[in-house]
Amino acid sequence: MTKILDGKIAIIYLSERGKNLAEKIIPFLPKSKIYTFNKEKLFEIWESHKALIFIMATGIVIRSIAFFITNKKNDPAVLVIDEKGKFIIPLLGGHQAGANELAKELAKFLNSTPVLTTASDLSELPALDLWIERCGFKIKNPSLLPKTISKFIDKRKLNLFIEKNIQIPLPEYFQITDNLLSADIIITNKSYQTDKLILVPQNLFVGIGFHEGITEEEIEKRIREVFSEKGFLFEAIKGVATLERKANYQALKEFCKKHGFKLYGYSSSELNQIKGISHSETVFNAVGVSSVCEQASLLASRGKLVIPKQVFKDMTIAVAECNYTIQGKLYVVGIGPGTLNLIAPSAIKALRNSDLIIGYKTYIEYIKPLVEDKEVLEYSMTDEVKRAKKAVEEVLKGKIVSLVSGGDPGVYGMAGLIFEILAKNKLHIEVEIIPGISALNACSAKVGAPLMNDFAVISLSDRLTPWEDIEKRLKMAGMGDFVIVIYNPKSMKRKNHLTKAKEIILKYRKEDTPVAIVKGATRENESIIVTTLKNMDKHPVDMQTTVIVGNSKTFIYNNLLITPRGYERKYEKEFKLNSPFVG
């Protein structure tokens, strides 16, 4: 998914029906703003937003924006949606501005049809330019990009030459080759004479030592000379490193600012951590380090030296190279009880933003319409650790991964397991937990208001928790007069656990304590039984069932469980309604 979804987006409507659709879109695009169509103010919106979504006829839009259009590098994405929300047309900025991606993601949210006309989308191929952007490569010879895209669409594959220290997720349509002549794309930081598309990773760090008095122009000239002579691309520079006090030198700061290079400044003690480099007695006596340029480049890159110290009259230059990877991300996505209308917009965005979806096969089935065009790995019920490990491993390769969790990932879900694995392996990756509606919320909503006061949630599954611990928790919850929500009441191997739980709770509750048994809440197979504590184990239950046991004050009205919050005790007189409709 393109970054556009988190950018500034305008939703422009013409009619009341268009306004209703715009308001429906807002939860999916929370940073967007709704505007009433006004020709006089349209150019101001055009200039200040990354995308414009028009809810009106295409002809009105075309005539209104025609004079604003300049070029695809600067124009915002423009989409048109009919007022019923049936079709979404990316009118302008399909790839460059992200209109196609926005159309596809929004279509999933609205259950609409995206109308795409770009060749790669029609061929059901990944957009090459978006993949390049995702990998963070610079294009050395951009004039060859259209030709390469055309070949990709025609042949449905490309030969790729890639340096061994560049580790990125590759589309299945790319075939690795060691032969530069047969490559369609070359990914390298080296200079080659070729008519093939060259993609440049920024993984080179320039170490520099110098006498004050040199100019910005001299710095750039010397670095370019070194790169040209040694066969490396200037575009591959990620940063420049030197002594801490030299990093404040204005000419060097201006050079780095001009090219967007990160500037590193290190103390002598930090540089001296780097061993095995050339030694200059003169430099050591002056600043306390053996070779400023080599040590600085190695420290900044944490890699290997590819150009050793090059000596000029007032300057020394060395270059080090690091492995090139792109940052992955892990979403742990709560999908709620399993119906699409109860999945949060943020969960849909996370799923659509992902390269890979991982989950228990039943949960994957629930969200199939949202991920049918994604790579999906399905696992069995007891494969939680395998799922979590695979998710982390794929993120480390640079992929964006959604690990699907039923209900809420932080309630008996996958969130805790992910963080345990990260802590055990001392790993730091970007993780975002997307909350979902838990079974206790869905089931409670179906049977009244049983959780209006303090409650405890206890799973009867002893696959991971010893039964002795579960018994202790049941006793304490019963003793404390908590409403008790019971997960996993029964399985093929655990046929009597609910009866054991009932016997424990009966020591602290009356036999007629209200109990709700909810199976498959919000799903097609939903069933609800309102019964009593005495009879709660006489009804069919399974792993999809949640049992809610009331506290001593819970009562039944109209077949609904109600647990008082305490309002009547404090506001008893205010409870009475003065209405002729009250009997």
Cβ contact 37:63 at 8 Å: no
The CATH classification of domain 444-562, taken from the options 1.20.120.450, 3.30.360.10, 3.40.950.10, 3.30.950.10 = 3.30.950.10
Tokens of 265: 């400044």
Supply the CATH classification number for the domain 128-200. 3.40.1390.40
pLDDT at 278 exceeding the cut of 80 = no
pLDDT at 64 exceeding the cut of 90 = yes
Average confidence (pLDDT) over 148-176 = 90
pLDDT at 231 exceeding the cut of 80 = yes
Cβ contact 297:241 at 8 Å: yes
Phi and psi (nearest 5°) for 292?
Answer: -55, -50
How far is residue 285 CA from its own chain's centroid? 51
Half-sphere exposure of 143 (CA within 13 A, CB side): 1
Q: Which tens digits make up the pLDDT trace of 405-418?
A: 999 999 999 999 99
Phi and psi (nearest 5°) for 414?
Answer: -90, -10
Half-sphere exposure of 90 (CA within 13 A, CB side): 23
> pTM value?
0.79
Query: Which CATH fold would you assign to the domain 329-437?
Result: Cobalt-precorrin-4 Transmethylase; domain 1 (3.40.1010)
Query: Which CATH fold would you assign to the domain 3-117?
Result: Rossmann fold (3.40.50)
- What pLDDT shows up at residue 583? 63
Q: Where are the domains of the chain?
A: 3-117, 128-200, 204-322, 329-437, 444-562
Average confidence (pLDDT) over 200-226 = 95
Reported as a pLDDT band with limits 50, 70 and 90, residue 531 is very high
Class of domain 204-322: alpha beta
> Hunting for tokens 């890979």 — which residue is that?
356
**Same fold flag, 3-117 and 204-322:** no
How many angstroms separate the first and last alpha carbons of the chain? 58
Q: Which tens digits make up the pLDDT trace of 421-471?
A: 999 999 999 999 999 999 999 999 999 999 999 999 999 999 889 999 999
Residues listed for the chain: 583
